[in-house]
Amino acid sequence: MSSDLKDLYQEVVLEHSKRPRNFRVVEGATCTAEGYNPLCGDQLSVTLKMDGDVIRDIGFQGQGCAISKASASLMTGAVKDKTRAEAEALFERVHTLVTEGPEKVDPETLGKLAVLSGVSEFPARVKCASLAWHTLHAALDGRSTSVSTE
């Protein structure tokens, strides 16, 4: 396997795609959004339970490739108990990571999400990695319409 491919499909990514965390609908959710990637037909929903400005619980459901599932799974772990502003800031950093590469982001600020760094070598997969995040953004915004990566 090429080293780029190894970077893309790191163990952690494969593990999260096989056993996604928080793969459920949050009961008593306060906001929800649907995300859709028309390129590949991937579809996921994110449900949130907000406590004031803090994300107390988050779940996702849907279907997608290994990258989109792993990204969604890692996202739910990363933003739980974070404030809206912290979650949005994390989204910004993940976006920079997958579009511009790991050298543009301080790995310390990413935690486990750093395993998504391989995506930057695969421009066709950036949308897969960011779908869940765009959907989270829409849910936090309280937008009821679905978001699309197109």
Is residue 65 at the binding interface for another protein, with CB under 8 A as the rule? yes
Stretch that binds another protein, among 23-31, 64-72, 83-91, 107-115 (CB under 8 A): 64-72
Whether the CB-CB separation of 79 and 58 falls below 8 Å is answered with: yes
Q: Which residue has the tokens 């990571």?
A: 97
CA distances 19 to 22, 74, 116, Å, are 10, 11, 16
63 sits near another protein (criterion: CB under 8 A)? yes
Residues 6+ apart with CB under 8 A from 134: 35, 147, 149
- In the complex with another protein, the residue whose CB is nearer, 43 or 87, is 43
26 vs 128 by CB, closer to another protein: 128
Query: How many beta carbons lie within 10 A of that of residue 53, not counting itself?
Result: 11
> Max alpha carbon distance in the chain (Å)?
47
- 3-class secondary structure, 148: strand
The one among 27, 28, 41, 145 contacting another protein by CB under 8 A: 41
Would you count residue 85 as binding another protein (CB under 8 A)? Answer: no
Among 54, 122, 126, 143, binds another protein (CB under 8 A): 122
Stretch that binds another protein, among 58-66, 73-81, 100-108, 133-141 (CB under 8 A): 58-66
- Interface ranges with another protein (CB under 8 A): 1-2, 4-5, 8-9, 14, 39-43, 63-67, 122, 124-125, 128
